[in-house]
Amino acid sequence: MAAKAGWDGIGLIHSDIYATADKIGFPEMRRILEANGMKHVEFEFLVDWYQTGERRRTSDSMRYYYLKAAEELRAGIVKVGPGIGEETANIPLMVDEFGKLADDAQKRGTQVMLEIMPFSNVRTIETGKAIVEGANRKNAGLLLDIWHLSRGNVDFKEIATIKPEFIKGIELDDADRYAIEPLWMDTSHKRRLPGEGVLDVQGFIKAVQATGFDGPWGVEILSEVERKLPLEEMATRAYNATIRQFEN
């Protein structure tokens, strides 16, 4: 249905990857993706990759499965989360651990991208740049989601300060003028299709294009409204709304 609507990429979460793999196996999953023209495959969402103790053990287990699946399905990139709910980033630690994560990903033929989020310890482009530039791996960089940047009051002009090679992913969506609290509820349930909210989607697109970014444009619509629709309608609505943002 995604391919029929016009999409040529898909993002998968851990539980979906392995529930499907348990049923049909990775080779059949890859065949289905390739048969439907899914050229861009990404996974999400690895957290606690720089932590210690039980949190790190859980993260390392997830890390192994994500990277194994990436190799099996030829996924191009894995989305990496910052410290959600944490105030301060330990930059030297995160630089070191992000570099190690990137090296592990490289061995499996994939990349990693760190997402900037307003309710985390990586809430600014400055902090994100410090981590990815410090790690300085060709297969590691930042994910820029218009929702997170806008809700975090990040000026799109700052995107120009990111070296193009460190922009690994983009996500488009939209939002209402006022967020509900807590903010993670807003991001999980209240997103809008591009052009149906108040965010400057076209301004964001132009700021990204000005960097020379030539990767795929992702769309992430976490919406209590959209998720109730039939899958085909959901995919078509999101695709058409997004494409319109590139027409002006």
Question: In the Cβ-directed half-sphere of 44, how many Cα atoms lie within 13 Å?
Answer: 14
Query: Which residue has tokens 């409204």?
Result: 225
Structural domain boundaries, residue 185: 2-244
Mean pLDDT across 7-20:
96
Q: Mention every residue, 6+ apart, whose C-beta is less than 8 A from residue 174.
A: 146, 147, 191, 192, 193, 194, 195, 196, 197, 198, 199, 201
Q: Percentage of the chain surpassing pLDDT 70? A: 100
Mean of per-residue pLDDT scores for the chain: 97
pLDDT digits (tens, 9 = 90+) for 190-239: 999 999 999 999 999 999 999 999 999 999 999 999 999 999 999 999 99
Place 176 in a pLDDT band, splitting at 50, 70 and 90. very high
Q: Is the confidence at residue 248, as pLDDT, over 90?
A: no
Considering its fold, how many domains does the chain have in total?
1
Give the residue among 179, 181, 200, 195 at the shortest CA–CA distance from 240. 195
Q: Kindly report the pTM of this predicted structure.
A: 0.96
| Pairing label, strands 140-145, 9-13 | unpaired
CATH number, position 42: 3.20.20.150
Q: Is the confidence at residue 1, as pLDDT, over 90?
A: no
